[in-house]
Amino acid sequence: MKLFVDSGSVKDIEALASLGIVDGVTTNPSLLAKEGGDYRAILKRICEIVQGPVSGEVVATSAAGMIREGRDLAAIDPHIVVKVPFTREGLKACRTLSSEGTRVNVTLIFSAPQAWLAAKVGATYVSPFVGRLDDVGAAGMGLIQEIVDLFDHAGYGTEVLVASVRGPLHVIEAGRMGADVVTCPPAVVEQLFKHPLTDIGLERFLKDWEKAQAVKA
């Protein structure tokens, strides 16, 4: 399973990419606005850092507007993936952009039928939002299993990109279910590193080493 970082922060992305664990990035207009500056330059810099898929999202609501913005985004860098919302207009845009060879990430997926329709029009990725489903009392990870099973049986090449991830359990469950990608905010990626026994073990090792060095002295 691939790990994407859900962020528009060049600083955060650089820090995580330097560890060799980042396969791609997902952004949206809100995340890029927090960074400040020209969004095109930010997306270009992120592509240079990651050298993998980087989702840039359209803001238009009509198919014509999404197609126009999608072409503009795709021209920034070959690594750009155009993100469009799951709407009727979004599906129209996805079909056109994908037929032109542009990779498309259909976002705001909340059901298996929505994922299926996105796959039918050529989406490279579908992004189901598990955390937001959990928030309203639905089984977010249950949706991931449904989509993975559906795509496996239907033979679609569309990848399942698990979004709205709230913690390490979402990540591990996504991998066990066969999801292709999980995208996490930097704070969640940091949580993946943490375990109290690791910290305790390291602390004990260092103390034992210090004692050994003191005896030699």
What confidence tens digit (pLDDT) does each residue in 44-77 have? Answer: 999 999 999 999 999 999 999 999 999 999 999 9
Residue 11 lies in a domain: yes
Residue 47 lies in a domain: yes
Residue 120 lies in a domain: yes
Q: How far apart are CA 191 and CA 214, in angstroms?
A: 35
Per-residue pLDDT tens digits for 179-192 = 999 999 999 999 99
> In total, how many domains does the chain have?
1
Percent with pLDDT over 70 in the chain: 89
Is 83 designated active site? yes
- CATH number, domain containing residue 172: 3.20.20.70
Residue 34 lies in a domain: yes
Overall average pLDDT of the 120-136 stretch: 96
Candidate list 83, 120, 207, 211, residue with the active-site label: 83
Q: How confident is the model at residue 155 (pLDDT cuts 50, 70, 90)?
A: confident
Overall average pLDDT of the 164-179 stretch: 96
Q: Which amino acid is at 115?
A: A
Q: How confident is the model at residue 154 (pLDDT cuts 50, 70, 90)?
A: confident
pTM for the model: 0.90
> Which CA distances in Å does 72 have to 9, 25, 34, 80?
21, 18, 21, 10
Percent with pLDDT over 90 in the chain: 86
- Assess contact for 19 and 198: CB atoms under 8 A: no
User: Residue 54 has which token pair?
Assistant: 């980087």
Residue 24 lies in a domain: yes
CA atoms within 13 A on the CB side of 43: 28
CA atoms within 13 A on the CB side of 70: 31
Structural domain span for residue 98 = 2-191
Q: How confident is the model at residue 209 (pLDDT cuts 50, 70, 90)?
A: low
